[in-house]
Amino acid sequence: MAIIELKNVTMSYEGSRVINELSISINKGDYVCVVGENGSGKTTLIKGLLGLKALDGGEIIFGEGLRKNEIGYLPQQSEMQRDFPASVKEVVRSGRINRKGILAFFGAKDRKICDNAMKKLEIDHLAHKCYHELSGGQQQKVLLARAICASEHLLILDEPASSLDVGAADEMYEVINKLHDEGMTIIMISHDIEKALTWADYVLHLGNQKALYYGRSKDYKARAIEGGFWERGK
Amino acid sequence: MSEIINAIFTYGFLSRALIVGLLISVCAAVLGVILVLKRYSMIGDGLSHISFGALAFASVMGFAPLSVALPVVAAAAVLLLRLGGKKIKGDSLIAIISGSALAIGIMLISYSGTSADMNSYLIGSLYAISKNDMAMAIVLCMCVMIVFTLLYNRIFCITFDEDFASATGIKVNLYNTIVAVLIAVTVVLGMRLMGALLISSLIVFPALSAMRVFKSFMAVTISAACISVISFLAGFFLTLLWDGMPTGACITLVNLIIFIGLSIAEKVRK
Ligand SMILES: Nc1ncnc2c1ncn2[C@@H]1O[C@H](COP(=O)(O)OP(=O)(O)OP(=O)(O)O)[C@@H](O)[C@H]1O
Ligand SMILES: [Mg+2]
């Protein structure tokens, strides 16, 4: 059974259609990479999955006992406030909030999960630093740690490596791969198609409001060249 | 000094003013951290003008001031925080609403000819608060603090990253509304202490000062509360020492001195 199934999903902004009747299903343990030109609707689709934006039509079905609030999300880097006082620990820990009742106080178990997440991403020595005084790569790792704290099943990552230099980006992809090896289902948007093809099992190529390609990554290149959309994945 | 402390224990109204002032200072400071981080500093100002209008209306009509001002300002706060930035740009919306409320308040008071009220609402005075309002203020401040403490972790999560918060299932709108109501309550109560003209400095200053030095949300929140308490106490005792000094203005100036001091300290440390 699929962990997420999209049936005829349609989304638009003020009347202009971005995604039209998209139907795909993603299985537990898959590593799906979403590619497509700027503005092809990758972020929009993910916002639909997360319930941040309403669908105009179709439905999204969660399977495998996945609950809606058990998704770890790494937003596309938006301009965050430069002077926001928040320590790394506070940011990571805020990922646990979805597991708490009305009175969200963190206990020993939460602390342990956060510590483990920070160790896994090798940022535990930064725990008491201010988030905004970190490098871009370190910041992304902190946000990834927060996402891990929110879910042990499914991560949705919107361009986790877009603002990083080559070294930091590779490190990021390796960490994500490690998480996938441990059984995490991963949906990742990426601009780097070559990297996507090396790491991901599946590629979803969005374009013209639909899926130009959705299937195994090993078959993607041939189909994309044949279909004339190879260059447009970047 | 010992005379003053004696006086506080001898005169009930002084000790009540001290308690209410301390509570309001703490509420204003912790909520101020959120307003500053959300870039909503101007909302405190706008709400105080609306509160002024509502209080003027209540006093002209002979209603209990808090029972009119609280719901009106709460509604305005929810409106400003939720609608702000959608149709009309946030700060122009605040300007329109608060300007109109201020104008209506001034008209009402001039018409009824009770200029004493106008002064106490614009400049603020702890001693103008009635015994009943005082009791209500204490209860409300306690409520604000309890709600803030209980929701602290959620409020942090939402303030830091609204998208992530709603992706994990937090009802962002609900909590933003709750925060708006807490802010409204604090502004209405704080107006009696600081006056409509200076209440926003009670909200914004401690947060800005704390952010100069501290880099975690918890540290900023706690130290903002401490800075606010120190400023209040300084203002309170200065007012008692020099008769006739307005409390609100004293508190604001002490806050300013702390802000400048911490800014210099930050520069030196770098
Ligand atoms: N808030 C919005 N209001 C109106 N239109 C929007 C909004 N956000 C996105 N769009 C439009 O929807 C389309 C898809 O945007 P989206 O952000 O999903 O693209 P994307 O594939 O994530 O692009 P990128 O690679 O640049 O991140 C674009 O044409 C964009 O102009
Ligand atoms: Mg995008």
Measured CA to CA, the distance from residue B106 to residue B121 in angstroms comes to 11
Residue A234 has pLDDT above 70, yes or no: no
Contacts of B113 (CB under 8 A, 6+ apart): none
Share of chain A above pLDDT 70, in %: 96
Say if residues B182 and B145 touch (Cβ distance below 8 Å).
no
- The amino acid at B231: S
- Among A19, A42, A204, which residue has the most ligand 1 atoms within 8 Å of its CB, making it the best to mutate? A42
pLDDT tens digits along A107-134: 889 999 999 999 998 899 999 999 988 8
Q: Is the ipTM of this complex over 0.95?
A: no
pLDDT attached to residue B85: 47
Q: Rounded distance, CA B147 to CA B179, Å?
A: 9
| C-alpha distance from residue B76 to each of B101, B130, B247 (Å) | 11, 25, 27
Domain residue ranges of chain A, discontinuous segments joined by +: 1-71+156-234, 79-150
pLDDT greater than 90 at residue A202: yes
Of residues A5, A3, A154, the one with CA closest to residue A64: A3
- Which of A22-26, B137-141, B207-211, B255-259 bottoms out in mean pLDDT, i.e. has the lowest? B137-141
As a whole number of angstroms, the distance between CA B145 and CA B182 comes to 9
* Chain B residues 204-243 with CB within 8 Å of chain A: 210-211, 214-220
A221 versus A127: the higher-pLDDT residue is A127
pLDDT at B84 over 60: no
Residue B247: the pLDDT is 84
Query: Stretch B175-203: mean pLDDT, rounded?
Result: 88
More confident residue, B247 or A44: A44
Who's near B5: CB < 8 A, 6+ residues apart?
A: none
In angstroms, rounded to a whole number, what is the distance separating the alpha carbons of residues B148 and B154?
A: 10
- Closest Cα in chain A, distance from residue B177 (Å): 16
How far is B2 from A179, CA to CA, in rounded Å?
66
pLDDT value, residue B150: 92
Catalogue the long-range contacts made by B142-147 (C-beta closer than 8 Å, 24 or more residues apart): B142/B23, B143/B185, B144/B27, B144/B31, B144/B182, B144/B185, B144/B186, B145/B23, B145/B26, B145/B27, B145/B30, B147/B178, B147/B182
Mean pLDDT value of segment A14-25: 91
- pLDDT for the residue numbered A79: 64
Longest C-alpha distance within chain A, in Å?
56
Residue A49 one-letter amino acid: L
- What confidence score (pLDDT) does residue A162 get? 81
**In which band, very low, low, confident or very high, does the pLDDT at B228 lie, cut at 50, 70 and 90?**
very high
CA distances from B243 to A171, B234, B237 (A): 66, 14, 10
Q: If DSSP states are collapsed to H, E and C, what string results for B205-218?
A: HHHHHHHHHCCCHH
Q: What is the pLDDT of residues B204-223, one digit of tens each?
A: 999 999 999 999 999 999 99
Compute the distance between CA of residue B141 and CA of residue B189 in angstroms, rounded to an integer. Answer: 8
**Quick one: pLDDT band at residue B114, thresholds 50, 70, 90?**
low
Band the pLDDT of B89: cuts 50, 70, 90.
Answer: low
Alpha helix stretches (DSSP H) within chain A:
42-50, 88-93, 108-120, 136-150, 166-181, 193-199, 217-227
Segment A48-107, tens digit of pLDDT: 999 899 999 999 999 877 887 789 999 987 666 667 899 999 999 999 988 877 777 888
Query: What was the pLDDT predicted at B88?
Result: 52
Sort out which chain A residues have CB atoms less than 8 A from B263's CB and list them.
Answer: none
Query: Tens of pLDDT along B1-50?
Result: 677 777 777 777 778 888 889 999 999 999 999 989 887 777 888 899 99
Q: What is the pLDDT of residue A44?
A: 94
Domains of chain B: 2-269 (1.10.3470.10)
Mutate to test the pocket of ligand 1, among A10, A14, A18, A77 (most ligand atoms within 8 A of CB): A18
- For domain A1-71+156-234, the question of CATH label 3.40.50.300 is answered with yes
The pLDDT of residue A5:
92
Average of pLDDT values for B187-198?
85
Scanning chain B, the segments in alpha helix (DSSP H) are 2-10, 12-37, 41-61, 65-83, 90-112, 115-123, 131-160, 162-167, 172-194, 199-213, 217-241, 247-269
**Two tokens at B24?**
């309001």
The reported pLDDT for the residue numbered B208 is 95
d(CA B195, CA B247): 9
Whole-number Å distance between alpha carbons of B119 and B190: 15
Q: Which residues line ligand 1 (CB under 6 A)?
A: A 13, 18, 36, 38-44, 76
Name the residue of chain A whose CA is nearest to B216's CA: A86
In whole angstroms, give the CA distance from residue A1 to residue A166. Answer: 37
Asked if the model's pLDDT at residue B121 lies above 70, the reply is yes
d(C-alpha A144, C-alpha A122), whole Å: 12
Asked if A87's CB is within 8 angstroms of B217's CB, the reply is: yes
Q: How confident is the model at residue B196 (pLDDT cuts 50, 70, 90)?
A: confident
CA distance A210 to chain B (A): 24
Q: Is B156 close to A103, i.e. CB distance below 8 A?
A: no
Which among B164, B210, B219 has the least Cβ separation from residue A73? B164
Strand (E) or helix (H) holding A73: strand A71-74
Q: Give percent above pLDDT 70 in chain B.
A: 94
DSSP state of A152: S
